[in-house]
Amino acid sequence: MNKLTIGWLYPELMNIYGDRGNIITLSKRAKWRDIIVEVKELNPGFSDQTLKECDLLVMGGAQDKQQSIVNEDLRKHHETLSEMIDAGIPGLYVCGGFQFLGNYYKEADGTIIDGLGIFDLYTENPGHGHERLIGNIAIQPNIDELTNLIVGFENHGGRTYLGEDIDPLGKVLKGHGNNDGNTEGAKYKNSFGTYLHGPILPKNPQFADYLIKLALELEELKEIDDTLEIEARKNVEKKLIL
């Protein structure tokens, strides 16, 4: 029997806009397929050994104060996390978690917070006089295995700029995305960064299943009844007038 070990990075500090729902979705959709699931809550002070035991990593977003605490602790695990991501361990990094993997984040007051530099990108908040990027969003995923649009809700002040060595998660069809309405998120090997809250995975079960397959190195997953999920997606897309 397969076992899925999910590493939930900083759940006590990086869990805003309902990002806990991503963990619930991954766990439920795995258990419905008779996959044993263990969720390791990796709060400040966790060990590199515990991190290495994880098949899939998930990290949410937070406010600036919490992000500063996490940024300091996460640096202790920079080498291990970088090695895992480069080795293809899949991960979903939302908002602040997404920004941490870049080169740096510039706060609204101009303060520069160095990132881990795993993703070739940087993020800047243009300042308090500029609007936040808020609203429903739909993107065409830059992942061949995903045939459905990815839909969700974005709420971020930072504008993210991708380097030449990083691919976007998808193309924006409706909404703001990273900065100019053209791209959303980032994709590096089997790790994905995104601004989609809401949370993202309950609205996009195909993406959740894709992460599970990557984590367990499976070609296919047992079919389950997705009638409710399909109807929910249709309603979201209707509201977005797609």
Q: Catalytic residue numbers?
A: 95, 197
CA atoms within 13 A on the CB side of 163: 14
- Which residue has 């069809």 as its token pair? 173
Do residues 16 and 62 lie in contact, with contact meaning Cβ atoms separated by under 8 Å? yes
Distances (CA, A) of 150 to 8, 42, 143, 173, 174: 22, 27, 11, 10, 11
Token pair for 85: 């991501």
Edge to edge, the sheet with strand 150-156 lists 183-184, 170-174, 133-141, 150-156, 196-197
Do residues 95 and 123 lie in contact, with contact meaning Cβ atoms separated by under 8 Å? no
DSSP per-residue string spanning 197-228? ETTHHHH-HHHHHHHHHHHHT-S-------HH
Q: Which residues make Cβ contacts (< 8 Å) with residue 123, sequence separation at least 6?
A: 99, 102, 104, 105, 106, 158, 159, 160, 161
d(CA 144, CA 122): 26
d(CA 73, CA 47): 11
